[in-house]
Amino acid sequence: MDSTNGTNLPFVVRDCALVAVSTGKQAQNLRELRDHMLNIHEGSIYYHFWGGLLQARFDDPQFNNDFANWSHYRLHDNILAERLAVIDPTDFDDLEAMRRELVEVLDQRLDEVDRPAWVPIDRQFHFIRSQIVVFDTGWRIEKPESLPDLVSKMSVGSIFYHVVDARVRYPKGADDFRAWLGGFGDRFKPVCARLAAVDPNFMTLVELRRKLATVLRMGFGEAQK
């Protein structure tokens, strides 16, 4: 835990960027996708679920992770795409648990098809891993009651780091806002309960920022009653 946590300590606002790194691993069919999934770098699983939130995209993918999109657009396997699309990263304690779920879904589909479809070389799935670069914005939040207005002004990189990336860093899907508020005792339990109900997997970072500001205002309103 860093200095964002603990009673009376200010919340340190950080920003971040994702650096995409090629793994040199590609898949031309479902079996190759499954085989690589067994031991691909954890950062690749992270990237293909979360990277699209921060990286510029010129298309509008139908699904919320790269594995599901490739299955739909390249393999033309809509059954597999839908099964992969419902995997919610916030349901897992860590990336290894998510990897096991992915492999299980792929194994199940392999058992169902006689001949896994192949795609042309130019439509292979390329495994990319990400390296997160974090930096201090110099911005500090002194009072919890300031969070609703200040969160609405944060960059999308800050929202990503403090909510999305935090759910990988903390056990049981916590985020930096709840970790900080928890340092003040039970006073802000209503706020934390509302934050816990926000699922970042099904919205853009702009939508997530707006949602967070709204639930924080409602949560602090309850805490002040």
pLDDT in tens, 133-143: 999 999 999 99
Judged by DSSP in three states, 5 sits in coil
Domain carrying residue 66: 17-129
Examine the domain organization and report whether 24 and 105 are in the same domain: yes
Alpha-carbon gap, residue 92 to 95, rounded angstroms: 7
Examine the domain organization and report whether 124 and 32 are in the same domain: yes
Evaluate whether residue 8 is within a structural domain.
Answer: no
Total Cβ atoms within 10 A of residue 196: 15
Q: What is the pLDDT of residues 146-175, one digit of tens each?
A: 999 999 999 999 999 999 999 888 766 689
Examine the domain organization and report whether 33 and 113 are in the same domain: yes
Examine the domain organization and report whether 160 and 214 are in the same domain: yes
Domain finish residue from 108, 129, 150: 129
Examine the domain organization and report whether 57 and 98 are in the same domain: yes
Examine the domain organization and report whether 106 and 191 are in the same domain: no
Domain finish residue from 70, 102, 129: 129
Kindly tell me the sign of the dihedral angle through the C-alpha atoms of 20, 167, 197, 68.
positive
What is the DSSP-derived secondary structure letter of residue 29? B
Q: What is the pLDDT of residues 96-124, one digit of tens each?
A: 999 999 999 999 999 999 888 899 999 99
Per-residue pLDDT at 48 exceeds 90: yes
Examine the domain organization and report whether 91 and 183 are in the same domain: no
Number of domains in the chain: 2
| CA 176 to chain CA centroid, nearest Å | 14
Q: What is the pLDDT of residues 212-221, one digit of tens each?
A: 999 999 988 7
